[in-house]
Structure 1
Amino acid sequence: MDFLVGTFYTPKLFTLRFTPSKDISKCKLEIAHTSEAIGGHSWLSLSSDKRHLYTTVWASPPAVAAYRVEANHTLTPLNSKPVRAMSGYVCSSNTTLYSAGGPTGEVFSILSDGSIGPLLQNLEFRNQGNENDGARNGVAHGDFGGLRHGAHSVDLSPDGKALYIADIGHNCIWNYDISSDQGKLEQKQKWIASRENDGPRHTWPHPNGRILYSVQEHSCFVDTLSISETGTLDLISGARIIPKDKDEKQYWADEVRLSRPTSAQPRYLYASTRGLEKETKGYVAVFELDEQGLVQGEAIDIFETATSGGIANAIEPAPMVEGQEGVEYLAMTDSQEGFVFILGFDGKKIREVTRTQLVGEDGKALAAATAVWL
């Protein structure tokens, strides 16, 4: 089972190979390939057919980039396009690439060869003329070009007719209709988060199209939102993703994802949190879902990660392994020490299965960012 991992600052893309086994002690994780990259890639997103990879580019000037995924799972650069502010996240339909980062976002066409085409639309998330709109002072680890107090993610609805952008600084989710065949957007709603200190960072839709999950960077909650027949969002419930005795001010929540079953509906929701300081370890929480996608009570387990996670601790559930239906695997990236972990969940407990480390030619750890499964 292969997956791709990018780093925040190094122009390399890694193809990792996970070999599962019913005997966990025999599971293996190794670096299968290293591909030259256009820049540091904080976020990776595969096309629906997994033939192309789209990425953010942490560089000056900032950009987004496209790659072709080769048969051996190496990567060939296609092109890049500049964006106005550092992008935090990209996603794509068959025709369109979406990017969001800090004060602005972009909509690009995708050409027939998978490369990024012309700019179709600019998105604005600040009140015009107000550079401090949504800004926060004294942000730990820096603001990453406004990402710590601005738009941070962009996700399509399962039917491809709506798009959701989580905005940390404005404590909201921007909700858009996709208004044309080109993929242009029309704003539908600005959903304000339920707590003043939430800071929506990432969202993730349930495959039934009626539920959207939002992980709150500051409050360390994951919220379940309903999507009405007209497409508007409304809060159903919230669940804390760190232990009860921990202070959310010492953490910053990172990711929310669903398990990936071979059939039926996803059974579990996973959410990860990073420690704000190096000595504060992060967490991965798992919740049971009902058939409608509603969270059932408190976390089944909250797993303490090996490090703080740095600015990552991003999780990505793996496809189900045939013959191992009783366990779910997740890739988790760590920018602090450059580790990539495989976690396993057996329905009761999360545990580390195996790990490897990304290091440069100088022997220093590389800041692992995010993973996507091929």
Structure 2
Amino acid sequence: MKLLPILIATLALVSCTSPKQETQVTSEPVSPTSYQFLIGTYTDLPIQGINHLYFSPEENILTVETIAGGIANPSFVIASKDGKRVFSLEEQSGTPGGQVLSFSRNPTDNSLTLLDQKESGGDHPCHISLSSNEDFVILSNYTGGSLSVFKVSPEGMLAHAQTIQHSGKSVNADRQTSPHVHSTTFDPEGKRVLVADLGTDKIYVYDFDPNQSEPLKLSSEFPVSPGDGPRHLTFSADGKEVLVVEEMTAILDVFYYENGVLSPKQRLSLLADGFEGKVGAAEIRLSPDGKQVYVSNRGDANTISVFGKRPSGEYVLVQNISSGGIMPRNFNLTADGKYLLAAHQASNDIVIFERDEFTGKLTQTLWKAELNKPVYLFRLND
């Protein structure tokens, strides 16, 4: 694949000033706090693709640059812990179907160099997960209803290891006539993979053994409520709960989790009282301090819901706030938990919120980046 030249767009921001401080004597200057994210997008032009976002609130800087053009619909993008390996996909269908790609990344200038590219094993791959040792990636093929496992060499080359085809359906005649694998998530131990299948209304638990030629083996299937459509999931800070966003019913489902076994705990609605209209719950994130859970909802809602946890262990709604745009397919928080960035597929922007570190509540800021159909945000550590 030929990558197109880097396109850099620096965004004009509303200027801000800070009150004067008393003169202080410091031994050495302190660098301003800054944050970096990779952005997955849906593409309409060849120059579009994977983007990089830089945000420095103290300097009032917010920039976005295209670091890998010529990739069709790289809707999900992740990186290794050191940020030097990047994995993405091309969310397409037909012949030969979707693709999975690996890159090397130069942290100095964020440039990406394509290392390898393989067929994803199904149509419309929409999610990637990386094993704890960073030697395997697993792809979710949404329309294909399958998941594929690839071995990653130290040089970043991809070798197909396994494809598992789901079967079955559920109650929604428009969206659940066949399996639709929407996400694959390693548990905190890295010994199991939980697979959310929107089409079959099930969460599948697979044992993961990297020493086997086919690393995944089905352990159990857990049905959710008919018509829920499980999409993405995350784990509580202690790893004893699985929190699932149910796309079609706009529900936060909470399950107890022990040794790969799920059992129901709590169901909470993302909808305000009296809400009428279409829904499309999308992303779920745990705050870096583990105190709050955040869930986005698309459709006619366009909200982010904030949930806290009482001393009793019960989850409770803290806030329902407008996401600041249209179709918040994805969002993420900065590593220090001070800001939340919401990516809007339909309004073509990323809106930044300040987060109260005690209550978890969000307040929309004036910072906004405009770019074509941002649909995923991955937080970089460098």
TM-score when scaled to structure 2?
0.80
Counterpart Cα distance in 2 of 1:156 and 1:170: 20
Counterpart Cα distance in 2 of 1:167 and 1:197: 11
Counterpart Cα distance in 1 of 2:88 and 2:321: 29
Partner of residue 372, structure 1: 378
The residue identity in structure 2 corresponding to 1:162 is R
> Which residue of 104, 111, 115 corresponds with 1:74?
111
Counterpart Cα distance in 2 of 1:53 and 1:113: 12
Partner of residue 18, structure 2: none
Check conservation: 1:15, 1:74, Cα contact below 8 A. Answer: no
Offset at residue 43 of structure 1 (A): 1.0
Counterpart Cα distance in 2 of 1:135 and 1:106: 26
Q: Does 1:161 align with 2:191?
A: yes
Tell me: CA distance 1:136–1:75, structure 2 relative to 1, closer, same or farther (3 Å). Answer: farther
The residue identity in structure 2 corresponding to 1:35 is A
Mapping of residues 1-374 of structure 1, within 5 Å: 1-10=35-44, 11-21=48-58, 27-32=60-65, 34-60=67-93, 61-71=97-107, 72-83=109-120, 84-93=122-131, 94-102=134-142, 103-116=145-158, 118-127=159-168, 133-134=169-170, 136-138=172-174, 150-181=180-211, 184-193=215-224, 195-228=225-258, 230-247=259-276, 250-261=278-289, 266-275=290-299, 280-289=300-309, 294-297=313-316, 299-309=317-327, 312-320=328-336, 328-346=338-356, 347=359, 349-353=361-365, 354-358=367-371, 366-374=372-380
Check conservation: 2:325, 2:349, Cα contact below 8 A. Answer: no
Offset at residue 332 of structure 1 (A): 1.3
Offset at residue 33 of structure 1 (A): 5.2
Offset at residue 166 of structure 1 (A): 0.6
Max Rg structure: 2
Counterpart Cα distance in 2 of 1:244 and 1:197: 21
The residue identity in structure 1 corresponding to 2:342 is M
- 1:179-215 Cα shifts (integer Å, max 9, x gaps): 343571111111111x322111111122422211100
The residue identity in structure 1 corresponding to 2:344 is D
Tell me: CA distance 1:108–1:342, structure 2 relative to 1, closer, same or farther (3 Å). Answer: same
Offset at residue 18 of structure 1 (A): 0.9
Counterpart Cα distance in 2 of 1:223 and 1:62: 30
Offset at residue 66 of structure 1 (A): 1.2
Offset at residue 339 of structure 1 (A): 0.2
The residue identity in structure 2 corresponding to 1:219 is T
Offset at residue 290 of structure 1 (A): 5.5
Partner of residue 324, structure 1: none
Counterpart Cα distance in 2 of 1:5 and 1:40: 11
The residue identity in structure 2 corresponding to 1:36 is G
- 1:257-281 Cα shifts (integer Å, max 9, x gaps): 11113xxxx1111000001xxxx34
Counterpart Cα distance in 2 of 1:69 and 1:255: 26
- 1:295-321 Cα shifts (integer Å, max 9, x gaps): 532x11111123331xx531111110x
Tell me: CA distance 1:120–1:271, structure 2 relative to 1, closer, same or farther (3 Å). Answer: same
Check conservation: 1:67, 1:115, Cα contact below 8 A. Answer: no
Tell me: CA distance 1:216–1:27, structure 2 relative to 1, closer, same or farther (3 Å). Answer: farther
The residue identity in structure 1 corresponding to 2:162 is Q
The residue identity in structure 2 corresponding to 1:16 is L
Q: Which runs of 5 or more structure 2 residues have no equivalent in the other structure?
A: 1-34
Counterpart Cα distance in 1 of 2:103 and 2:79: 10
Tell me: CA distance 1:4–1:171, structure 2 relative to 1, closer, same or farther (3 Å). Answer: same
Percent identical pairs in the alignment equals: 20
Tell me: CA distance 1:223–1:107, structure 2 relative to 1, closer, same or farther (3 Å). Answer: same
Check conservation: 1:38, 1:65, Cα contact below 8 A. Answer: no
Counterpart Cα distance in 2 of 1:208 and 1:75: 35
Offset at residue 50 of structure 1 (A): 2.5
Counterpart Cα distance in 1 of 2:77 and 2:314: 27
Partner of residue 323, structure 1: none
Counterpart Cα distance in 2 of 1:243 and 1:64: 38
Check conservation: 1:281, 1:307, Cα contact below 8 A. Answer: no
Offset at residue 149 of structure 1 (A): 5.6
Offset at residue 135 of structure 1 (A): 8.5
TM-score when scaled to structure 1?
0.82
Tell me: CA distance 1:135–1:114, structure 2 relative to 1, closer, same or farther (3 Å). Answer: farther
Offset at residue 291 of structure 1 (A): 7.7
Counterpart Cα distance in 1 of 2:360 and 2:284: 19
